[in-house]
Amino acid sequence: MNQPRLLGLCTSTPPRDLTRAEWLTIARRLSPARVDARVLERLADRSGIDTRACACLAPPYGETFYPADDGSGGPTTTQRMDLWWAGVRDMGERASRAALEQSGCRAAAITHVVTASCTGFRAPGLEMHLIECLGLSSSVRRTNIGFQGCHAAINALAAARAIVGSEPSARVLVCCAEVSTAHFHYSDRLDQLIANTLFADGCAACVVGMSADASQPAIVATHSQLFPGTSGEMGWLVGDHGFEMMLGARVPELLEQSVGPWVDGALAHHDLARGGIGGWAIHPGGPRVIDAVIASLGRPAASGHHSREVLRRHGNMSSATLLFIIRDLLEAGIPRPWTGMAFGPGLAGELLLLG
């Protein structure tokens, strides 16, 4: 059946990986002296992360980008945006070029570019850079999904699906690129210490187009949900020293209460139920988020395996993360349909059904 499908999906990360031990060295440098080193160690141990990539450690930056805390707040927002721009250009080009090659789609055949990033702003932005470096047509239509947080990949895929649905000959390049570590906090607030511990850098790109090839995942549907009374539980604001993350302690509890009924309602639109889903791609906001979603769904702990593995190897790369999990489901040959979920400021949820 001819449907909008993922014709190619590839990922990239900065060239410098950060081990847990190396992270603790940086964490101590960022944290005010009043923060107990044992707190940082406990957060790292509970994060579920062994390694993650960090753009600020790659050339031309390095260990000096984040100096020891002196009360100044660290690099300015301008300096952090320069880091973001260098990182997304590098990762975006590598992942997009690989996705084009995997899909067998010529650069000249791309009709639309959809980009997503919540860790930086610039105009002309990533979409213009991709058009120039990949040799795309100057008439390519451009859409940017900005500042929507960890679920932005689903928003981007929803846009690509709508484009291909209305223009069956369209070929859409989707690129989600994040440099979360441009926004390490100099803070003793627990939520910001947790954000420092969890977030990482990465990029995922895919080509979406009409195809009858059943080996390629079909974008069957997307569903959105705002969870009432939760707008104060998660925030992402522009500050003088980077973007400031606010994470409410109740997020896992709220997800455990709300996700199951929401997913049931969304799946029912497609005559599906939880038991009929072959693979789950749960955005790993952290180990507790994965646990809460699995509990709400009443699924076996193994349903979160691929989410935990991406978290362990890469950390939370914001919008790019879900596509890393989908890539792993694809490479593992997990039977479809798959359900992907991610959550962001609002508190908002986005659901993706792949068949």
3-state secondary structure of 20: helix
Amino acid in position 125? G
Provide the H-helix boundaries in 142-285: 152-166, 190-198, 251-268
Distance (Å, rounded) from C-alpha 34 to C-alpha 235? 25
Distance (Å, rounded) from C-alpha 15 to C-alpha 329? 24
DSSP strands (E only) in 79-211: 112-117, 141-146, 171-179, 201-211
Residue in 10, 54, 118, 150 annotated catalytic: 150
Distance (Å, rounded) from C-alpha 32 to C-alpha 197? 15
Could you identify the residue written with the tokens 């210490």? 193
DSSP 317: -
Strand order in the sheet with 348-354: 219-226, 348-354, 338-344, 279-282
**Annotated catalytic, 150?**
yes
Active site (catalytic) residues: 150
